[in-house]
Amino acid sequence: MVKNQEEVDLYRDTYVRYLGYANEVGEAFRSLVPKSVVWASYVVSSGYVLADTTHKGTNVYKIDTSPQKIKNVLLSASDTLIWQAFASIIVPGFTINRICAAVQFAQKRSTSAVWRKPWISTIIGLVSIPFIIHPIDHAVERTMDVTYRKCTGYHPKASLYGVKRE
């Protein structure tokens, strides 16, 4: 017997998801690379967000046969856009930027030659990324539940964002 398996979401369940974290990598490298490289990392992340938004809206358009089809497409796409913007770009980019800024602040006051190396803040920023991803995803999910989703009445399926609902 073949078990029913949920469809694999290209933007959430594969390595494509890492494109959403490009701006965090750019922020970690901000002290070592030209600003244009950092901004390019935001372009990559933004492209990922827009691709996922289009994907989710298109999926609803293909399967929805209700009279509210266009409304449901817009709700799905807008929910994805808002969630991704905050969970993939705004909050983590700001968080890594502030972590690296705090390290650089501490470096300026340090007397240790090793601690003052310019790549230290980059390493700490990069190492921080895996630790901030899931807490930010969950915080954005919960915030969306009590704000946008409460106002619109739209709730994506539980696994849509890789966050388990309780």
Angle (nearest 5°) at CA 125 between 122 and 131:
155
- Closest by alpha carbon to 18, among 120, 165, 162? 162
Per-residue pLDDT band at 156 (split at 50, 70, 90): confident
7-39 pLDDT per residue, tens? 788 887 888 888 999 999 999 999 999 999 999
Rounded to the nearest 10 degrees, what angle do helices 91-109 and 119-146 cross at? 150
Q: What is the mean pLDDT of the chain?
A: 89
64-112 pLDDT per residue, tens? 898 999 999 999 999 999 999 999 999 999 999 999 999 999 999 988 8
Weakest-pLDDT range from 68-82, 106-120, 121-135, 141-155: 106-120
In the predicted structure, residue 5 carries a pLDDT above the cut 90 = no
- pTM for the model: 0.85
- From start to end of the chain, where are the E strands? none
Q: Which of 44-48, 65-69, 153-157 has maximum average pLDDT? A: 44-48
- Closest by alpha carbon to 141, among 119, 158, 124? 158
Task: Determine the pLDDT at residue 164.
Answer: 47
Task: Determine the pLDDT at residue 113.
Answer: 84
Domain segments of the chain as ranges: 15-152
Per-residue pLDDT band at 41 (split at 50, 70, 90): very high
Distance (Å, rounded) from C-alpha 1 to C-alpha 11?
Answer: 29
Question: Which secondary structure element, helix H or strand E, spans residue 85, and what is its range?
Answer: none
